[in-house]
Amino acid sequence: MNRQSIKVENLVKNFGKGDSLVEVINGASFEVNKGELVALIAPSGAGKTTLLMMIGCVEEPTSGTIWLGDEKVYENRWLTKETRKIRREKIGFIFQAHYLIPFLNILENVTLVPQTNGVSKKESEAFARELLDYFDIEDKAESMPSSLSGGQNQRAAIARALANKPQIILADEPTAALDLKRSVDVVKMLKKIALDQDVAIIMVTHDEAMLPLCDRILKIENKKVVSTEVPKKSHIL
**112 membership: H or E segment, kind and range:** helix 106-116
Q: Which does 126 bind (CB under 5 to 8 A by kind): ligand ADP, Mg ion, none?
A: none
Residue closer to Mg ion, measured from CB, 49 or 154: 49
Residue closer to Mg ion, measured from CB, 7 or 48: 48
Q: Which does 148 bind (CB under 5 to 8 A by kind): Mg ion, ligand ADP, none?
A: none
Question: Is residue 153 at the binding interface for Mg ion, with CB under 5 A as the rule?
Answer: no
Q: Which does 50 bind (CB under 5 to 8 A by kind): ligand ADP, Mg ion, none?
A: ligand ADP
Which of residues 5, 49, 124, 154 is near Mg ion by CB under 5 A?
A: 49
Residues 223 and 24: beta-carbon distance below 8 Å: yes
Question: Is residue 202 at the binding interface for ligand ADP, with CB under 6 A as the rule?
Answer: no
Give the list of residues 6+ apart from residue 89 with CB closer than 8 angstroms, or none. Answer: 117, 164, 166
Interface positions, 7-36, toward ligand ADP (CB under 6 A) = 15, 22, 24
The CB-of-50 to ligand ADP minimum distance in angstroms stands at 3
Question: Is residue 50 at the binding interface for ligand ADP, with CB under 6 A as the rule?
Answer: yes
Residues 90 and 167: beta-carbon distance below 8 Å: yes
Question: Is residue 42 at the binding interface for ligand ADP, with CB under 6 A as the rule?
Answer: yes
Which runs of E-coded beta strand occur in 57-212? 63-68, 71-75, 91-94, 168-172, 200-204
Which of residues 46, 113, 162, 184 is near ligand ADP by CB under 6 A?
A: 46
Direct distance between the N- and C-terminal alpha carbons of the chain, in angstroms, rounded to an integer: 33
Q: Are strands 71-75 and 224-228 parallel, antiparallel or unpaired?
A: unpaired
Say how many C-beta atoms besides its own lie within 10 A of residue 76's C-beta.
12
Q: Taking Cα atoms as reference points, which of 40, 47, 45, 53 lies closest to residue 26?
A: 47
The CB-of-115 to ligand ADP minimum distance in angstroms stands at 31
Q: Which does 47 bind (CB under 5 to 8 A by kind): ligand ADP, Mg ion, none?
A: ligand ADP
Whole-number Å distance between alpha carbons of 20 and 88: 33
Applying CB under 5 A, which residues contact Mg ion? 48-49
Applying CB under 6 A, which residues contact ligand ADP? 15, 22, 24, 42, 44-50
